[in-house]
Amino acid sequence: MFLAPAAAILAIALLYPIGYMIYASFLDWNPSQRIGEADWVGMRNYLKLLNDAAFWESTWVTVRFASIVVTLEMIFGVGLAMILDRNLRGMSILRTIFILPMMIAPIVVGLMWRYMYHPQVGIFNRTLKSLGFDTIPFLSESNWAFASVIIADIWQWTPFIFILSLAALQSLPQSAIEASRIDGASGWQQVLYIKLPLMLPVLIVTVLLRLIDAFKVLEVILVMTNGGPGLSTEVLALRISRTASEFRELGEAAAMSNALLFLLMLLTVIMFGYTKLQEKRAAKLRQAAQEEI
């Protein structure tokens, strides 16, 4: 009964847009039409997607992009956290500097990197030229463009993983780490056998959060390459936005969105399942300990 207002708000704020999108994915809908005027086409949009090579290419680009950036960000983020997890003077300032990229609006990040990658005036190519090397087609060659957007994303999002890992590291039981030093563990062995296993629950949630985010990446790539050259950096979100605004196929765009949504839901379910598993295990442990007393 008391949940009624909350349920109503939830229904309007959450379910209405999603329901609208699902409904729209069954329509042949042009932006100049009102939704009521659009024709019902059943599964046609979805069937079209299945046979749309460009859509599959975008999906593949997205999956590659997400898995590469998240893997590299995890390595750099966790590594940085391990290195900076100590009490040296000025460390708090250093940590603050490290998390700055995350606070910049993605559009600005995109613009910034686009200028840095610029073939003539960009800092990278100017430096290369002044050192006597050939310039690199950062944004105009497919493989380089893909690598370039990955670098920009890593630059922006490694701090996110860094912060969470650092928090996880600093909440580890200090005495367990000291005990491992007494037991003869070297620095690497402490990381491998004690720190990483104890951080694992946080790391898994971090990976899933970052994956969900990486699958939705749009602004930085939109500004930097707008999906080009060719389709080499056209991630799903970009494809969706282009389908809706350039190709004026709202129904198809909605169907794509649903496909992406489904993918993300899958990740969320994995995350949810994982948290549930953790809770269950913790409850079991607690119970076992209590029976003992």
Partner 1 sequence: MPKIELTNLQKSYGAVSVIDGLNLTMEDGEFTVLVGPSGCGKSTTLRMIAGLETVTGGEIRIGGRDVTHLEPKERDLALVFQDYALYPHMNVAKNMSFALRLARYDKSKINSRVNEVAEMLGLTEYLNRKPAELSGGQRQRVAMGRALVRDASTFLFDEPLSNLDAKLRAQMRAELALMSKRIQKNMVYVTHDQVEAMTLGDRIVVMKSGKIMQVGTPEELYRSPANLFVAGFIGSPTMNFLDGELFEENGRLFAKGNGFALPLPDKRKAELATHTGRKIIIGLRPGNFFMGNGENALELPIILSEYIGAQSVLMSELGGQTITIEVSSEAPIPSGAPMEFLIEEEGIHLFDSKTEEAL
Using rule CB under 8 A, residue 6 touches partner 1: no
Q: Are 212 and 264 in contact, with CB atoms under 8 Å apart?
A: yes
Of 108 and 179, the one with the shorter C-beta distance to partner 1 is 179
Q: Are 45 and 251 in contact (CB under 8 A)?
A: yes
Shortest Cβ 179–partner 1 spacing (Å)? 4
Contacts 24+ apart (CB under 8 A), 114-123: 114/139, 114/223, 114/224, 117/148, 117/224
Dist. CA 86–CA 91, nearest whole Å? 8
The residue within the footprint of partner 1, chosen from 1, 53, 103, 182 (CB under 8 A), is: 182
Question: Toward partner 1, which CB reaches closer, 147 or 172?
Answer: 172
Spatial contact of 238 and 58, defined as CB atoms under 8 Å apart: yes
**Residues 183, 226, 266, 279: which binds partner 1 (CB under 8 A)?**
183
Sign of CA dihedral 216, 269, 54, 148: positive
Query: Which CB, 198 or 207, lies closer to partner 1?
Result: 198
Hey, is 71 helix, strand or coil?
A: helix
Residue 8's contacts (CB-CB under 8 Å, 6 or more residues apart) are: none
Question: Which position among 119, 173, 230, 273 is part of the footprint of partner 1 (CB under 8 A)?
Answer: 173
Residue 226 Cβ vs partner 1, minimum distance, rounded to whole Å: 47
In the shown chain, the binding pattern of residues 117 to 156 toward partner 1, with x for contact by CB under 8 A and - for none, equals: ----------------------------------------
Gap between the Cα atoms of 131 and 117, Å rounded: 17
Asked if residue 260 lies in contact with residue 173, where contact means CB atoms within 8 angstroms, the answer is: no
Which is nearer to partner 1, 181 or 276 (by Cβ)? 181
Q: Minimum distance from CB of 171 to partner 1 (Å)?
A: 12
Verify binding: residue 192, partner 1, rule CB under 8 A. Answer: no
Give the nearest distance from C-beta 64 to partner 1 in angstroms.
33
Kindly indicate which of the ranges 102-110, 170-178, 214-222, 245-253 contains the residues binding partner 1, using the contact rule CB under 8 A: 170-178
Of residues 7-26, which lie at the interface with partner 1 (CB under 8 A)? none
Judged by beta carbon, residue 97 or residue 285, the one nearer partner 1 is: 285
Q: What is the dihedral of CA 215, 218, 220, 224, to 10 degrees?
A: 120
Q: Which stretch binds partner 1 (CB under 8 A): 17-25, 42-50, 169-177, 235-243?
A: 169-177
- Nearest alpha carbon to residue 214 among 72, 65, 114: 65
Cα separation of 71 and 66, whole Å? 8
Residue 173 and residue 195: Cα distance in Å, rounded?
9
CB of 244 to partner 1, least distance (A): 48
Candidate residues 140, 180, 232, 241; the one interacting with partner 1 per rule CB under 8 A: 180
* Residue 281: half-sphere exposure toward Cβ, Cα within 13 Å: 7
269 binds partner 1 (CB under 8 A): no
Among 193, 245, 270, 273, binds partner 1 (CB under 8 A): 193
Contacts to partner 1 by CB under 8 A: 173, 175-176, 178-186, 189, 193-194, 197-198, 200, 282, 285-286, 288-289, 292-293
